[in-house]
Structure 1
Amino acid sequence: MSIESIEQLIDYRGNCHCGAFKFTLKAPALKEVHACNCSFCSKNGCLWTFPVTSENFVVVRGDEDSTLKTYQFGKRTMAHKFCPTCGTTVMARVHSNVGINTRALVDVDATTLGVVTIDGASREPLYQIPEPLAAGPVAEGTTIYTGSCHCGAVGYNVQLPKPLASARACNCSICHRDAAVWIYPRTTTVSFKGRDSIVEYTFGKRETYHGFCGTCGVAIYERYLGDASVKTALNVRTMNELDLASMEIKMLDGKAFLPAYESPW
């Protein structure tokens, strides 16, 4: 007898941030999520529930194959799917089984659930870090950090006056879905490559533009309309060989900022 036949199934709703893709999910009450340490899930901060059968996963708006964009890597056995408009990583599919990124669920704070770690990082073939963007002249005492999206289409470097010790996470509707962890260096200290591969998404007051890779969906930066020449937010999840666990992560209550996010439901 399956677990699903014993436990009562609960109706969950989910969507990408812009609402182009909406779905419902029937599953036992969520008590834990799976966090994979592979290169892709680490950059996206995905928190998964799976396997979900196709019968318990119903698309309400959009289409899995045409509304969402598919990204694969490694052995290409898993299809990661994200919204090409807002960048939300929604799901992953292996044949008939579906994994749902619980960050895309409505009224579920996945960060409060128990976490089961999956060691995807050790699976062959091992991920090769994309060639970093070379830095120009470096001032004495400056620390250089490099980073990229997962596929390597977008890369950057940033020159900071001291090594990174802290960053800021935000619980707003878009940052929660992206699991972004931010630092705010001066724009003049950041250099990019592959800007043609970046998609920008904005909402609310339309003062902040969220930049993500149009190929793999990884969130890279935030650009501020009224402050673009002064600072750029960088998602430190995308930095090469940075130990996020060793940093102090401060929480910003972006959910409280007005106007409040209007759910497509």
Structure 2
Amino acid sequence: MEEAIRGNCHCGNFRFEIPADSSSTPAKLGVTICHCSLCTKLGSLWLPVNPDDFAITRDKGTLTTYRGVRFCRDCGTTVTSEHVAGPLQGKFLVNARAVAGFNPFQLGTNVIHTTGSETDPKDIDHQQRQTQTPSSMPVTGAEQDPVKHRGSCHCGKVNVELLVELDELEIKEDNCSSCVRDAYIGTYPTKEQVRIHGREHTFEYRYGSKFNGIAHCRTCGVVVFTNVYGPPLSVFDRLPAERKERALAVYWKNMALQPVNVRVLDGVDLGALTIQKTDEGAEGYVLPP
């Protein structure tokens, strides 16, 4: 008998299994991409699953729910959903990105696309928010740097203004253990090229070396930006002088960055962008005991 298909949030607080002989396994169904505003920002890839086939193997009580979508409030991974409206309404859905070993770069043609319903309250509320300027966000005037792109999490509590065109920046995507779960597509402006409003509404997830922090909205779970910390400066003291100088130059360049998740930017067609994809997988990722 084949092994069960296993999955988990990144920190491992929530884990699940789907029987390999179930008719609702990824190999048999493929994935469904929902294009409603919330799913677009989350980048989730949904597997319709029979709830009776979904076995929870660990639950430390860290999942929270936003409009039917459940995500871990410790690491931010979107795990399951029961859509409140639209074509997927009423179906129990598992995020394929949370399945162990899943590679989004190898989807092939076994993909179903659907759209959010025009009457979906998720989209109506979101569209209304986009027509309003949050009270915490200063209005851009002629004397200020022009805003090229605006974006936000889905609930609107975390907002970003990009002061440079996307085609002037690198855009990258990889399938490391955390980026694959967050569906993160990063662009890398400097801190002077971006304004972020609502940082106080985020929680940050740091793991491994803790050189980077992934900022999720506490309410809707969407990743808007990440923070760069880098190694402690004492690390460079062990290097020979010439190597130390080069390494520090790279360090300070990285420390000047304020990475942003391209998925949250309004009106951006991901299919039209040149995205540098790195297919290295989740080597080195180990679930905590």
Provide TM-score, normalisation by structure 1.
0.83
Aligned mate of 1:183, from 179, 183, 187: 187
Partner of 2:148, secondary structure, is strand
The answer for the alignment partner of 1:93 in structure 2 is 82
Partner of 2:157, secondary structure, is coil
Aligned mate of 1:59, from 45, 56, 68: 56
Aligned mate of 1:39, from 37, 44, 59: 37
The answer for the alignment partner of 1:135 in structure 2 is 140
Identify which range, 155-164 or 175-184, moves more after superposition. Answer: 155-164
Larger of the two Rg values belongs to structure: 2
**What's the CA shift string for 1:144-183, capped at 9, x where partnerless?**
2111000001111121166568621111111111111111
Structure 1 unaligned blocks of 5 or more: 1-7, 73-78
Q: How does 1:73-112 map onto structure 2 within 5 Å?
A: 79-93=68-82, 97-112=91-106
Contact in 2 for aligned 1:135/1:157 (Cα 8 Å): no
Partner of 2:163, secondary structure, is strand
Contact in 2 for aligned 1:18/1:85 (Cα 8 Å): yes
Identify which range, 187-196 or 107-116, moves more after superposition. Answer: 107-116
Change (3 A) 1:40 1:161: closer
Question: Structure 2: how far apart are the matches of 1:192 and 1:163?
Answer: 20
Provide TM-score, normalisation by structure 2.
0.76
Question: Structure 1: how far apart are the matches of 2:105 and 2:166?
Answer: 30
The answer for the alignment partner of 1:261 in structure 2 is 285
Question: Structure 2: how far apart are the matches of 1:223 and 1:212?
Answer: 11
Question: Structure 2: how far apart are the matches of 1:169 and 1:247?
Answer: 12
Q: How does 1:231-250 map onto structure 2 within 5 Å?
A: 231-250=257-276
Partner of 1:43, secondary structure, is helix
Partner of 1:215, secondary structure, is coil
Contact in 2 for aligned 1:54/1:96 (Cα 8 Å): no
RMSD, aligned CA:
2.6
The answer for the alignment partner of 1:115 in structure 2 is 111
Identify which range, 8-17 or 110-119, moves more after superposition. Answer: 8-17
Partner of 2:47, secondary structure, is strand
Aligned mate of 1:69, from 54, 61, 64: 64
Question: Structure 2: how far apart are the matches of 1:256 and 1:115?
Answer: 23
In the comparison of the two structures, how many residue pairs are matched?
Answer: 245
Tell me the percent identity: 32
